[in-house]
């Protein structure tokens, strides 16, 4: 059977019916999903960073399952978050870029786990639609019982909305605020004898940076060579772009990452005190690679917004003492779209009857998976080329207006306005944009930039993507291009709304 036929069969199986689920245990695990905002792969102690202090993540990487090749579903934030929630590539439902909303018909992992009896809570950055109560894409609309959330990102003293109510300022370090709120939610779930599903999406380390003095002091002695470069980022004073020395910016950025790490340690201590840590799966990951304002010494090519490893390869560690009693490292490629199928299997829940792009990783958790059975696909939809061809708004515009302010201004305002459009037919131009198919060792990049065309890399031999093998291995290029075209066809069919017509 050809690779395209194999891929098409895989997609059809997922669309027609759920995969066989594992036998449901007497009680499924508690789940805590953690995510940093713009936290790149290099930026942890356990991945060898020369200066960063991340003792909690380092301990988790040593005692749990460390994913050496963990990938965000997209090189930017909103699309990746959609992939976590749905197990589907964001282009299937029009979440093309930051501030593009999800669609109300999508089925979320919170809805699946809620149906299994979980108490579900979301804390922090949302960014797949407004968090206000009447939004059809709020955390509540997508299955969370409780939420203390922000439409986008935030710094110290964040302004957050509780359960869709009026935005309220919370004084303190934002990562600690979120973890403390999540811990109180966990206490209530434990008291009610319910398994819990908690999502904590930190606002850090997204720029503009602000941090506590004690965290800043850890990075007072960064090398002088960083002061020779300037980078562009948002001013905390004006909300507009400004230029500052990289050394000063890195000091603040690294301080924010250390604050996230400390907050995660605080959460782990709370799980210990509550007597539930052994039975709780805690999974940390980033939502995309390091942004331009944080790029210093990178071992991978590219940065946030690109399809190279520096744009999509992110930290990934999973801790679950009851099932993973000893530390392990895996080189199997894993992506954020795998989260929903994996958690559904662990909870004994059937999968949605529509195409998914992630796979069940339970055999990987048990050390049995050594090769990924299906490829991973990435695709940055060509939003610029889409302008002027958009269909009718998918959601009433008033319902797409955010309420929670942030420092960074957009179109002159401190809140965010989301968008999504009906896409009733497929245009040949819809296939444009940088795109990737990754099949274990090999990664095919199409139009990584406008000048690069077709690139083929062996990531095991060349993780820095320095050597283009396309001319040497034409058969591999053709095999992967064929698989990519089949997948794009399926994805564009989903974009038209066809998946929602399935009974």
Enumerate the H helices of 274-432 as residue ranges.
309-312, 339-347, 362-365, 383-386
> Which residue numbers are catalytic?
77, 127
Per-residue pLDDT at 125 exceeds 70: yes
The mean per-residue pLDDT over the stretch 290-304 comes to 95
Three-state helix/strand/coil letters over 237-278: CCCCEEEEEHHHHHHHHHHHHHHHHHHHHHHHHHHHHCCCCC
The fold adopted by the segment(s) 27-370 is Alkaline Phosphatase, subunit A (3.40.720)
The mean per-residue pLDDT over the stretch 88-110 comes to 98
Phi/psi of residue 202, nearest 5 degrees: -65, 150
CB 379 within 8 A of CB 107: no
Q: Indicate the pTM of the whole model.
A: 0.94
Per-residue pLDDT at 8 exceeds 70: no
Retrieve residue 75's tokens. Answer: 């090189």
Per-residue pLDDT at 26 exceeds 80: no
Give the pLDDT confidence score for residue 502 in this predicted structure: 63
Separation of alpha carbons 245 and 239, rounded Å: 18
Distances (CA, A) of 460 to 111, 332, 425, 442: 37, 11, 39, 8
Distances (CA, A) of 230 to 50, 242, 244, 248, 255: 21, 10, 5, 9, 19
Helix (H, G, I), strand (E, B) or coil at 286: strand
The mean per-residue pLDDT over the stretch 410-420 comes to 97
H or E stretch covering 376: strand 376-379
Retrieve residue 106's tokens. Answer: 């999508």
Per-residue pLDDT at 262 exceeds 90: yes
Give the pLDDT confidence score for residue 247 in this predicted structure: 98
Distances (CA, A) of 172 to 39, 124, 177: 21, 14, 7
Domain ranges in the chain are: 27-370
Could you give the angle at which helices 246-273 and 174-191 cross, rounded to 10 degrees? 20
Could you tell me whether strands 241-245 and 230-234 are parallel, antiparallel, or unpaired per DSSP bridges? antiparallel
Give the distance, in angstroms, between the CA of residue 243 and the centroid of all CA atoms in the same chain: 28
What's the pLDDT tens digit per position in 128-166?
999 999 999 999 999 999 999 999 999 999 999 999 999
Separation of alpha carbons 111 and 43, rounded Å: 33
What's the pLDDT tens digit per position in 433-472?
999 999 999 999 999 987 889 999 999 999 999 999 999 9
CB 19 within 8 A of CB 13: yes
Helix (H, G, I), strand (E, B) or coil at 406: coil
């Amino acid at each position: 059977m050809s690779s395209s036929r194999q891929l098409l069969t895989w997609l059809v199986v997922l669309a027609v019916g759920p995969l066989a689920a594992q036998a449901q245990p007497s009680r499924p695990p508690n789940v805590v999903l953690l995510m940093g905002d713009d936290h790149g792969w290099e930026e942890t102690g356990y991945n060898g960073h020369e200066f960063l202090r991340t003792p909690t993540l380092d301990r988790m990487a040593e005692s749990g399952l460390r994913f050496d090749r963990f990938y965000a579903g997209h090189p930017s934030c909103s699309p990746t978050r959609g992939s976590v929630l749905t197990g589907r590539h964001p282009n299937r439902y029009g979440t093309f870029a930051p501030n593009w909303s999800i669609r109300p018909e999508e089925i979320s992992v919170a809805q699946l786990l809620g149906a299994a009896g979980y108490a579900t809570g979301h804390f922090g950055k949302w960014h797949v639609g407004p968090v206000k109560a009447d939004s059809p894409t709020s955390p509540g609309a997508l299955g969370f019982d409780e939420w203390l959330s922000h439409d986008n990102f935030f710094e110290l003293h964040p302004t957050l909305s509780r359960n869709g109510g009026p935005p309220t300022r919370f004084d303190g370090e934002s990562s600690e605020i979120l973890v403390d709120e999540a811990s109180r939610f966990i206490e209530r779930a434990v008291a009610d004898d319910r398994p819990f599903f908690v999502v904590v999406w930190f606002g850090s380390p997204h720029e503009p940076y602000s941090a506590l003095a004690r965290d800043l002091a850890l990075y007072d002695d960064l090398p002088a060579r960083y002061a020779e470069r300037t980078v562009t980022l948002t001013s905390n004073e004006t909300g507009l772009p400004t230029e500052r020395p990289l050394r000063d910016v890195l000091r603040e950025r690294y301080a924010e990452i250390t604050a996230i790490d400390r907050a995660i340690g605080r959460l782990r201590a709370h799980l210990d005190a509550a007597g539930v840590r052994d039975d709780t799966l805690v999974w940390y990951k980033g939502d995309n690679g390091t942004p331009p304002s944080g790029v210093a010494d990178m071992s991978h090519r590219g940065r946030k917004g690109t399809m190279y490893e520096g744009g999509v390869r992110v930290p990934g560690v999973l801790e679950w003492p009851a099932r993973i009693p000893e530390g392990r490292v895996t080189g199997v490629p894993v992506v954020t779209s795998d989260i929903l199928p994996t958690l559904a299997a662990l909870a004994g829940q059937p999968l949605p009857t529509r195409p998914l792009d992630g796979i069940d990783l339970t055999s990987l958790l048990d050390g049995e998976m050594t090769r990924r059975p299906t490829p991973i696909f990435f695709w940055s939809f060509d939003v610029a080329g889409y302008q002027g061809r958009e269909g009718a708004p998918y959601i009433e515009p008033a319902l797409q207006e955010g309420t929670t302010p942030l420092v960074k201004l957009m179109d002159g305002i401190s809140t965010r306005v989301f968008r999504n459009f009906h896409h009733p037919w497929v245009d040949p131009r819809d296939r444009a944009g940088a795109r990737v198919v990754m099949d274990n060792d090999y990664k095919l990049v199409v139009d990584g930039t406008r000048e690069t065309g077709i690139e083929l890399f062996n990531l095991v031999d060349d993780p820095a993507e320095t050597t283009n093998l396309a001319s040497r291995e034409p058969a591999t290029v053709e095999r992967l291009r064929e698989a990519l075209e089949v997948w794009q066809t399926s994805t564009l069919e989903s974009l038209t709304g066809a998946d929602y017509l399935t009974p």
